[in-house]
Amino acid sequence: MYNGGKIIAGLIIFVGLFTFPIFYNMGKTSAMPEPKLDTPVIKQLVEKRCVESKEYMRANHMQLLDNWRDLVIREGNLVYESTGGKKYIMSLQNTCMHCHSNKKEFCDKCHNYANVKPYCWSCHIPPKENEI
């Protein structure tokens, strides 16, 4: 092999650089995101319950929203009666964000952590948040 030393040294450096992030982060855990639920509207709620149970929403909010958009736009529905019998208007921008008016502290917290980039906000207008 011509220039064997250089090639092998180069390979070692390359592998070292390439795997650096893995070794650097090994054994560390990044803090779990804690989405905030302390908006004024939520604080005033007597029963602090979302459209469905917390566990259901945590696991399935994306399916729920996806269903909602088809139910509203394609099938012409408006009102969602949840398992508890309460009625809600199916609207991300008006219903969800009415309570969760803190997109940065609520939606973005987990989405950033999980590195998912939903494109809701390229059309739907998020509520204005007070910049601190």
Residues at the interface with other proteins (CB under 8 A): 52, 56, 60, 64, 69, 71, 73-83, 89-90, 93-94, 119, 122-125, 127
Which amino acid, 45? Answer: L
Shortest spacing between CB 37 and other proteins, in angstroms: 22
What are the DSSP calls for 7-22, one per residue?
A: HHHHHHHHHHHHHHHH
Least gap, CB of 104 to other proteins (angstroms) = 17
Taking alpha carbons only, the member of 123, 62, 132 closest to residue 104 is: 132
Q: Which is nearer to other proteins, 5 or 76 (CB)?
A: 76
Q: Are 132 and 75 in contact (CB under 8 A)?
A: no
Q: Which is nearer to other proteins, 7 or 41 (CB)?
A: 41
